[in-house]
């Protein structure tokens, strides 16, 4: 009997651990309902929608899923992924209509989201249509299962076991994506191995595509431009060569024979040493168009990355614009140029890339980084919706006031045939998927903004908190309101906190060599590329600090619309949060606050540390409102983040103080570390592993 009780106890404990380990993400609604639901069409996709509603809908009213021909639903023409949800009252049937099965699935998840948010009672009159047709995750996963800039374990894709063995995580991944409207995924790293296009690997890709298909997710692959040579044995990969063009045409046919709904290719070429058309004296347009021609008969697309830069005297921030603008209008209509949110590289704060809006004849898509390569890996709380909104809401002025990045990429201003948006994924084999329980919010936020970029950061945070934590313990409505308010505040302030304790006022790329985790503004590796060194960006000296990109410097400001160029070009009108991005500013320059630049810099670093300390205090007040496992996990992450914030503050202020010769102002906590000791400290980490707490003790 005692043995039986012990077994039962272990099962109960195991169930509790499973329930609160983060593996269920935001999909935590109990599947105990027995709702009445029907559909006028049966398919693998509608079967999923029916199951989700049947097991989770607790509204009491029947639900009807209805395929309605496009143009008739709600009296207006809707895109294939669009849907409507209608209910006249508590005694009426809830009707979800769409022109496609995929739209019905999105409608089902939206209805369940409304239920969990307490917004599904009574009348419903919802019409939803995505702002972007392709809402895609980019995985930087390698064949050996390492993940470049991945901080949540190794790759989800077990290539060695595929296609014979299929992990249940694959379907769970697809379900999570579909629940927030993500409908596409690039399975492998942009630094691609030609191996991914081999017959053996394509069979593995097919196995994943078959799992994802019922959830409305199409697979794409990153390709290596030299694949015709390295995989096909051709003497060249020149896009003008007939044999090369034939090789790509045959390879596309091979892929589509296996995967009829294959999406297409993502290409990183002539960047950071990777091969590309320029190796043969050709242009980006020549390379993209060759591959586009191979995909065209199958309705596939090419996403050609604009992240290109080479060593030289030119400002790295200018190179993408310089290389791509001359070819605007010269790309095939199934090519879209994928542009990082800023002109350098996913920094905690950058101005938007000047390519947005400037390319008027070529579809352009934004690329955001969900994984926190430059924002503390998965050790730091950094809710990124405010960062992405900052980019999307920025006005390019290219077609008059209101020409925001969002509107010049979603088809509102330019008649783009392809409307897409990408996010570099932060998922891995960690039980909680993202390495940090709160980092799950960034995956969720990307999906929601990709569907509707007009949602606010707070709306998305409140949704995610409710879906993820509401069922953690039995609490009153007032208790949960307090919990949500505190956690929402932490999340909404977190990105700004990271900017302040890492690189305020437009500073950028002050990271340690190689792994981009800690501060190393003094880094200078003999023989290394200058544009990989922090000094290239901060330009700090006895006179001042910052990169002069005005007309007296690199003239990068001229790449923006005249209205912005004029604003950015003058230190007096340049937004102060970007002043050191665009200007080399004297230490004694007077800021709007009345402080000198040096004083303002010190106060910003100090504020960042204070903010993170406030997060730890606030989280401590929430202990009784959340399960113990996630509480302890997040508390420990905040502990690391506080130590890192102090590390960043001390390293940067002590180093820049040596150059400025000015004292730390009153009101800023003085550094606790010694600069000589900080310069000797080195982290030894792999790019796909996180940094443990013990590694950060500076012994």
- Residues forming the active site: 272, 345, 373
The rounded distance, in Å, linking the Cα atoms of 49 and 102 is 9
b/e per residue, 99-137, with b = 16+ CB within 10 A?
bbbbbbbbbbbbbbbbbbeeebeeebebebbbbbbbbbb
The rounded distance, in Å, linking the Cα atoms of 357 and 408 is 6
- Helix pair 440-451, 168-179: axis angle to 10 deg: 50
Q: How many Cα atoms within 13 Å fall on the side-chain side of residue 483? A: 23
Length of the chain: 699
- Two tokens, residue 649: 């503050």
DSSP per-residue letters across 103-162 = HHHHHHHHHHHHHHTT--SS-EEEEE--S-SEEEEE--B-TTS-BTT--SSS-S--TTTT
At a CB cut-off of 8 Å and minimum separation 6, what does 439 contact?
152, 372, 378, 382, 426
Contact 75/108 with Cβ under 8 angstroms?
no
Instruction: Tell whether omega for the bond before 5 is within 30 degrees of 0, i.e. cis.
Output: no
Task: Tell which residue, 485, 466, 368, has the closest CA to residue 421.
Answer: 368
Q: Are strands 63-67 and 94-98 parallel, antiparallel or unpaired?
A: parallel
Task: Tell which residue, 343, 463, 335, has the closest CA to residue 391.
Answer: 343
Q: How many Cα atoms within 13 Å fall on the side-chain side of residue 687? A: 16
Nearest 5°: phi and psi at 411? 90, 0
Helix-strand-coil split of the chain, %, nearest 5? 45, 10, 45
Q: Are strands 585-586 and 544-545 parallel, antiparallel or unpaired?
A: antiparallel
The rounded distance, in Å, linking the Cα atoms of 277 and 231 is 17
The rounded distance, in Å, linking the Cα atoms of 90 and 549 is 61
The rounded distance, in Å, linking the Cα atoms of 399 and 325 is 17
Residue 324 backbone class (left: φ over 0; alpha: ψ -120 to 50; beta: rest): alpha
Q: What 3 state SS string does 210-237 have?
A: HHHHHHCCEEEEEECCCHHHHCCCCCCC
The rounded distance, in Å, linking the Cα atoms of 372 and 441 is 12
DSSP per-residue letters across 56-119 = H--SSS-EEEEE--TTTGGGS---TT-EEEEE-STTSPEEEEESSHHHHHHHHHHHHHHHHTT-
Contact 633/500 with Cβ under 8 angstroms?
no
């Amino acid at each position: 009997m005692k043995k039986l009780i012990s077994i039962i106890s272990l099962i109960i404990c195991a169930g509790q651990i499973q329930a609160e380990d983060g593996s269920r993400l935001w999909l935590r609604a109990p599947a105990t309902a027995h709702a009445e639901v029907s559909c006028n069409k049966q398919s693998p996709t509608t079967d999923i929608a029916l199951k989700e509603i049947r097991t989770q809908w607790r509204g009491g009213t029947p639900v009807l899923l209805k395929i309605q021909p496009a143009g008739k639903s709600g009296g207006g023409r809707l895109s294939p992924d669009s849907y409507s949800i209608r209910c006249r009252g508590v005694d009426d049937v809830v009707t979800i209509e769409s022109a496609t099965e995929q739209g019905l699935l999105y409608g089902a998840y939206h209805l369940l989201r409304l239920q969990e948010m307490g917004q599904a009672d009574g009348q419903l009159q919802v019409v939803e249509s995505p702002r972007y047709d392709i809402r895609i995750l980019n995985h930087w996963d390698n064949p050996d299962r390492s993940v470049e800039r991945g901080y949540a374990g190794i790759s989800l894709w077990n290539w060695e076991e595929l296609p014979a063995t299929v992990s249940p995580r694959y379907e769970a991944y697809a379900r999570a994506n579909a629940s927030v409207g993500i409908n596409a995924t690039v399975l492998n790293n942009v630094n691609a191995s030609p191996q991914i296009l081999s017959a053996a690997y394509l069979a593995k890709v097919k196995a994943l595509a078959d799992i994802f298909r019922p959830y409305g997710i199409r697979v794409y692959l990153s390709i290596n431009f030299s694949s015709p040579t390295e995989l096909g044995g051709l003497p060249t990969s020149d896009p003008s060569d007939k044999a090369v063009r034939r090789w790509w045409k045959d390879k596309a046919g091979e892929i589509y024979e296996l995967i009829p709904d294959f999406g297409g290719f993502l290409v990183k070429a002539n960047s950071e040493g990777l091969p590309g058309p320029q190796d043969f004296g050709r242009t980006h347009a020549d390379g993209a168009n060759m591959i586009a021609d191979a995909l065209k008969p199958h309705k596939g697309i090419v996403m050609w990355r604009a992240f290109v830069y080479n060593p030289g005297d030119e400002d790295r921030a200018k190179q993408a614009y310089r290389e791509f603008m001359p070819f605007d209008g010269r790309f095939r209509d199934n090519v879209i140029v994928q542009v990082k949110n800023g002109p350098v590289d996913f920094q905690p704060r950058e101005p938007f890339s000047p390519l947005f809006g400037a390319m008027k004849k070529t579809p352009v898509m934004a690329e955001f980084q969900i994984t926190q390569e430059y924002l503390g890996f998965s050790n730091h709380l950094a809710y990124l919706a405010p960062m992405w909104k900052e980019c999307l809401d920025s006005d390019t002025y290219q077609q008059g006031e209101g020409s925001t990045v969002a509107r010049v990429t979603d088809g509102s201003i330019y008649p783009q045939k392809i409307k897409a948006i990408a996010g570099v994924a932060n998922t891995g084999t960690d039980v909680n998927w993202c390495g940090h329980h709160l980092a799950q919010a960034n995956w969720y936020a990307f999906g929601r903004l990709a569907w509707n970029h007009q949602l606010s950061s707070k709306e998305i945070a409140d949704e995610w908190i409710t879906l993820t934590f509401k069922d953690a313990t039995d609490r009153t409505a007032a208790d949960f309101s307090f919990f949500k308010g505190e956690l929402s505040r932490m999340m909404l302030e977190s990105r700004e906190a990271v900017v302040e304790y890492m690189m305020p006022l437009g500073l950028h790329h002050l990271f340690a060599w190689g792994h981009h985790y800690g501060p190393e503004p003094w880094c200078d590796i003999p023989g290394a590329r200058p544009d990989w060194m922090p000094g290239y960006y901060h330009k700090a000296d006895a006179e001042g600090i910052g990169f002069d990109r005005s007309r007296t410097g690199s003239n990068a400001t001229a790449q923006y619309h005249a209205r912005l160029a004029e604003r950015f070009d003058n230190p007096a009108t340049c937004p102060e949060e970007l002043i050191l991005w665009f200007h080399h500013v004297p230490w004694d320059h007077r800021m709007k606050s009345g402080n000198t630049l040096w004083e303002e810099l010190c106060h910003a670093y100090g504020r960042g540390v204070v903010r993170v300390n406030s997060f730890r205090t606030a989280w401590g007040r929430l202990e009784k409102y959340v399960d113990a496992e996630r509480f302890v996990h997040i508390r420990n992450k905040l502990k690391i983040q506080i130590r890192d914030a102090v590390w960043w503050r001390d390293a940067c202020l002590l180093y820049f103080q040596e150059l400025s010769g000015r004292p730390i102002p009153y009101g800023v906590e003085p550094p606790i570390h010694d600069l000589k000791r900080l310069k000797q400290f080195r982290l030894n980490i792999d790019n796909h592993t996180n940094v443990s707490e013990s590694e950060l003790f500076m012994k």
